[in-house]
Amino acid sequence: MTTSLTGCLGGGGAANAGSEGSATEGTITWWGWTPTPELAEQYISAFNEEYPDITVHYRYFGVSDDYVNAMRPALAGSEGPDVFGISGGKPTSNIDTYGHAAVDLEPAIEEALGADWQDEVSQSGIDTFTTEDGKVGGLSLGDVAAGNLWINQDIFDEYDLEPPTDLASWKQVCEELRSHDVGCLAAGAGQGIFNLDVLHSISDTIDPEFFNDAARQDESWDDPRFVQALEIFQQLQDDGIMDPGALGLQQYPDANNMFLSQESAMIQMGTWYRQYTTQTGARAGIEGAGVGDSEPFTMIPIPYPDVAGQGNTGLLYKDPDVALGVSTSSDVQAAATTFVTWLATSNTGQTLIANSLDQNPALAEATPDWDAIDLVDPQVQQPALEALLEMTRASDQPRNALLNADVATAIQDASIAVLDGTMTPEDAAASVQAAAEGS
């Protein structure tokens, strides 16, 4: 799908320009797997109010693998995009993969924000998209965080339930929900990539530093703390906190659909799930889950329960989601740089990012304009969403950025093996450590 918009209103000057073409006019192509075409249309339309003579064509790849496959030949030839997305987490589309094809955007961001620009944006966004030789190859649009749960507040209100705060109360909540034929925690444990988040959250309740220390290889994965995390993970299944059959389900679409269709009252998803707190997002999500009556319900984020009983809760971990780079092969680098810099550093562009509730904006001063966001139940949801944003900004823990591919795969395999009984937690932890030593 391609979104193309041309502005028709007056605008100001460019923040900074690349070495090719005009900074205030031209036609640029933008490729990405995110944002959706609908959000891209909003961004481009607002950009064109300031830069009416720059036309932006957006080519959307709904599947990130399709994007990767298209980018390989595009970067090798001369028919590629002027602006392209760079992943903060996927090794096949990160700065190591695409950095060689990106211009250095440090002069642009410095001109836009001043000499102290690094104080104005997320540090993780700077670190993640800077190449080994010090080039700022992409400007981060924002980050996503995980480590929280989402609950259906309407169901909790109906049965007079309080959000769980520890393992015992979580089990009690699940027993009460099932007594009313309502599922508890929708979980797609068969999709190992999401088990990374579950094990990260459990590990943080044991020791908030351990998971990322092990990812840095400062700790061993066969440490008793990770064995305990795997034991608690198994307990979530054995104690009936996960809905039955979780091992045979995927987080997307199965668990996602179970929660959005209100078959289950809880799910573990990160900040990207905020899109379903809005009237429009909720209706779209519920319809996508196959529900004929798409009446929105009130969902809110809650801290991950203190399943280890150590008093560690409310902890999030985050990675930059996506940055935009400008191609070294582009003959409209200046216009492309204007667009990228505007979206990543201007208050208008970053407020739009914030309002999408898909990413947390990279610009420190940007916050959602709640008056422009049509929440299902603002009185209940807005305080919870504001608290989630503050917890995200306070987090200094990476999500998956420190995990190499071998270790990430080993954790996924170990998580499934523990649930299906083919490995003990001790053996599973040892298998992850073996992968770390061999990588």
Residue 372 lies in a domain: no
pLDDT for res 19: 57
pLDDT for res 90: 78
CATH code: domain of residue 26: 3.40.190.10
- Mean pLDDT, rounded, of the chain: 93
pLDDT for res 190: 95
pLDDT for res 434: 98
Euclidean distance between CA atoms 151 and 265, whole angstroms: 6
> What is the pTM assigned to this prediction?
0.86
Q: What confidence tens digit (pLDDT) does each residue in 360-399 have?
A: 999 999 999 999 999 999 999 999 999 999 999 889 899 9
Q: Do 161 and 266 sit in the same domain of this protein?
A: yes
What residue has token string 């998956």? 400
Q: For residue 404, give the amino acid letter.
A: N
Sheet holding 54-60, edge to edge: 2-5, 54-60, 26-32, 83-87, 317-326, 139-146, 360-361
pLDDT for res 405: 87
| DSSP state letters, 328-387 | TT-S-HHHHHHHHHHHHHSHHHHHHHHHTTSSEESBTT----GGG--BSSHHHHHHHHHH
Higher local confidence (pLDDT), 401 or 41: 41
pLDDT for res 18: 52
Q: Do 311 and 239 sit in the same domain of this protein?
A: yes
Higher local confidence (pLDDT), 171 or 14: 171
Q: Do 217 and 347 sit in the same domain of this protein?
A: no
pLDDT above 80 for 11: no
Question: What does each C-alpha distance from 291 to 31, 154, 283, 284, 294 come to in angstroms?
Answer: 32, 17, 10, 10, 6
Q: Do 20 and 55 sit in the same domain of this protein?
A: yes
- How far, in whole angstroms, is CA 322 from its chain's centroid? 9
pLDDT for res 342: 98
381: nearest Cα among 123, 119, 150: 150
pLDDT for res 314: 85
Euclidean distance between CA atoms 107 and 19, whole angstroms: 12
Tell how strand 139-146 and strand 360-361 pair up. Answer: antiparallel
Tell how strand 54-60 and strand 2-5 pair up. Answer: antiparallel
Q: Which parts of 120-166 fold into alpha helices (H)?
A: 123-128, 153-158
pLDDT above 70 for 4: no
Q: Do 167 and 301 sit in the same domain of this protein?
A: yes
Q: Do 348 and 410 sit in the same domain of this protein?
A: no
* 200-204: Cβ within 8 A, 24+ apart: 200/146, 200/147, 200/317, 200/399, 201/146, 201/147, 201/268, 201/304, 201/315, 202/229, 202/232, 202/233, 202/307, 202/308, 203/229, 204/147, 204/304, 204/312, 204/315, 204/317, 204/397
Instruction: Work out the angle between the directed axes of helices 37-50 and 347-355 (0-180°, nearest 10).
Output: 160
The tokens for 88 are 């903060």
Q: What confidence tens digit (pLDDT) does each residue in 192-217 have?
A: 989 999 999 999 999 999 999 999 99
Q: What confidence tens digit (pLDDT) does each residue in 103-113 have?
A: 999 999 999 99
pLDDT for res 183: 98
Q: Do 177 and 298 sit in the same domain of this protein?
A: yes
Residue 82 lies in a domain: yes
pLDDT for res 76: 80
pLDDT for res 7: 34
Count CA atoms within 13 Å of residue 410 on its CB side.
21
Instruction: Please count the other Cβ atoms lying within 10 Å of the Cβ belonging to residue 155.
Output: 20
What percent of the chain clears pLDDT 90, i.e. is strictly above it? 84
Q: Which residues of 84-122 are buried (b: 16+ CB within 10 A; e: fewer)?
A: bbbbbbbebbbbebbbebbbbbbbbbbbbbeeebeeebb
Q: Do 432 and 297 sit in the same domain of this protein?
A: yes
Domains of the chain: total? 2
pLDDT for res 351: 96
What residue has token string 């966001």? 373
Q: Do 128 and 155 sit in the same domain of this protein?
A: no
Q: Do 45 and 167 sit in the same domain of this protein?
A: no
Question: What does each C-alpha distance from 16 to 186, 238, 342 come to in angstroms?
Answer: 47, 57, 10
Residue 136 lies in a domain: yes
Q: What confidence tens digit (pLDDT) does each residue in 27-48 have?
A: 999 999 999 898 899 999 999 9
Residue 38 lies in a domain: yes
Q: For residue 212, give the amino acid letter.
A: N
Q: Following CA atoms 114, 115, 117, 123 in sequence, which dihedral angle do they give, to the nearest 10 degrees?
A: 180
Residue 374 lies in a domain: no
Q: Do 225 and 183 sit in the same domain of this protein?
A: yes
Q: What confidence tens digit (pLDDT) does each residue in 174-193 have?
A: 999 999 999 999 999 999 98
Sheet holding 148-152, edge to edge: 183-186, 264-267, 148-152, 299-303
Residue 269 lies in a domain: yes
Q: Do 235 and 345 sit in the same domain of this protein?
A: no
Residue 130, classed as helix, strand or coil, is: strand
Residue 272 lies in a domain: yes
pLDDT for res 77: 76
Residues 68, 92: contact at Cβ < 8 Å?
Answer: yes
Higher local confidence (pLDDT), 16 or 158: 158
pLDDT-derived band at 169 (thresholds 50, 70, 90) equals very high
Find the domain containing 22 and state its range.
Answer: 2-142+321-367
